[in-house]
Chain A
Amino acid sequence: MEYEATQLEKQHVHSVYENTAAYFNDLQSKAWPRVRNFLLEQKPGSLVADIGCGTGKYLSVNSQVYNLGCDYCGPLVEIARKKDEEVLVCDNLNLPFRDQCFNAVISIGVIHHFSTKQRRIKAIKEMARVLIPGGQMMIYVWAMEQKNRRFEKQDVFVPWNKALCSRHFSESNQPGDKGEFVHAVKSQDMHPAQLVISDCSYQTNLQPETDSKHSHSMDHCLSRACCLKISEEENRFYSALGRSFRSWFFSTSLDESALRKQADKMKALKNEGDWANSTVPIQHSRHCSLDLGHHGALLKEQSLDDDDVFVESLSLKKPQWSLATDALKDLSLNGGHQSAAQSKSEEASCVNGPVEDRDYSSGCNKDGAGKSTASKSFKRTSTTDSTDSALDSAVSVGDQTDATLDTKAFMRYYHVFREGELCSLVEENVPELQILSSCYDHGNWCIIAEKRG
């Protein structure tokens, strides 16, 4: 349903970018070399459009061409404008340009925000419409297949929090999504399964055995070495623990039927269209990749990449993982009280993801549906390791750092693309484009296509 699709995007794309635009100013997002080269190859005097330009980082790559950027998000466009770029605000699905007026068009990290296949096709067709015959288009979308790990599902919500937008976290492998890390929030505000933990908050709070606790601001403690007197292995363990909960995946494909079902459900629960402040339960399908009851499946590979945002696999030994689940359970429970395993979660930034299956609702209910998947999946295991004390202190001081962090997490929607999906999408639905090349680049699927004619 078109309405549901637009509502979803309004809530989990547009509103997120609008609210977080100010922080993009600081982030020097990486300009992908391939995109740069594509732009630099355009003939001098060409008209080039960047559809979904954001803060306009590609608009200044090639000064020999006329660069026009546009984006749905006003605040981002304002930032680009301040850099003296030529920009405007518009909708990718209804571009305010004449037919066949651009020599080249780029769409970098944009169409993965459209929530249905039909809208993604429409976006590409609109861009093809404004291309002159022989003109070329470059499209970058986030790939489902990532280095060392995979998204479990294609339609995902990625949390964003301003506390993680700093130069230190400037790199990620997502087009346009810089600083997309998440952080610990007040345990009582979030359903345990929704907790995401930053590296830094753990590191700031990992207390050596003898030191007294001292507080660090996020800014000071970005260095991993800060305050750390535990072993490197433990360090990585805690980092991995944090990263492992970095994202919360929802397992649906947002085709029309799923959206309609979800919309019906939403209407039944509260005011139509008012998704922002709802306390609708977070609904996870049984296939949710972060269903912690199946945590074994997450233990795959050995490598931890510091730049990765999404790590579904941990290089942990099993016992440590169990420790982690205990820690997480504790963390979720208002600072360590086990009895709160079924605590009523409170209204906070509970985000509802469109899912098909309503049987798996968990947490975040006002009526305190305590049967959370998390409580079922956290199994207490032997915790006699010496790292216990460090974990406990990490847990207990979690609340202290929250005061310095913005606990509101924005959830941004993505449809991540499988290998070949973007090509098929174009080949089957956009006959006016001929694909010239396609590749995988830094966690993205990229194609270059030419307008026929």
Chain B
Amino acid sequence: MATCSSDQSVKVWDKSENGDWHCTASWKTHSGSVWRVTWAHPEFGQVLASCSFDRTAAVWEEIVGESNDKLRGQSHWVKRTTLVDSRTSVTDVKFAPKHMGLMLATCSADGVVRIYEAPDVMNLSQWSLQHEISCKLSCSCISWNPSSSRAHSPMIAVGSDDNSPNILAKVQIYEYNENTRKYAKAEALMTVTDPVHDIAFAPNLGRSFHILAVATKDVRIFTLKPLRKELTSSGGLTKFEIHIVAQFDNHNSQVWRVSWNITGTVLASSGDDGCVRLWKANYMDNWKCTGILKGNGSPVNGSSQQGIFNASLGSANTSLQNSLNGSSASRKQS
């Protein structure tokens, strides 16, 4: 696990056999607050990217150091490249899905999304800027669509935390156009007009539509269903049918981060109320809260627990026990 902080450093943590977390590396990465840190797919090795208020993004690789270090449980990370194209704070950095090769996107406060590629996956110091997308609004977060289906072109969602009083859509979807070889705006979610702090595409399990979670003043989940590609002269940008399938204001405050599990069935959100909430859809596609965790990881009682916490015997179970006072707790079969 990698964490980043406004203390300008990034820390990497490993889980030991008995389940304890140890910090195996901690180093200064930027000359400003580090906003985000993200892992590349392990196929490319142990690689991290970080972005910061100091207007740069950096790519780091773990090198296997001396055996002494290994014994002490320490690892070494070296900077492979610094991406300095931005003139303002870089607010998010994300690697593209692995089927696109070694590629990453950054977004900055000046509203520019930049997409870089490392043509030689073994050489992490060579990155070339492939695309620059101007979003017109200050960007705060990006998310690649992880779907590797041939039916979908690469897609990236950009969120904005622009605070000026306008009603511009704060979430935009950009899609790669094979013909023009450029990213073009495919859609904007007009209903999202409050500052957006985080967005995340859900992993696609063979669905024909996409699911996007948005962290803004509440938690929102959208489905984007691609309609038939319009045969425009530029060769077809997909149009989407957008529905909002869930909206939750349980945090009762700004929601800062949203994150999906591997199968895209559970969404986790964190907010200013100091809680992490888990959201899940049942087999009828109704989304509900299935768990609330406080900052120290303890569950909040009274929430309906649907099997997320296998270890805990929460309040739900005591009610079952009460009804069992009739039947024997100490079963002795004669």
A and B pair up: no
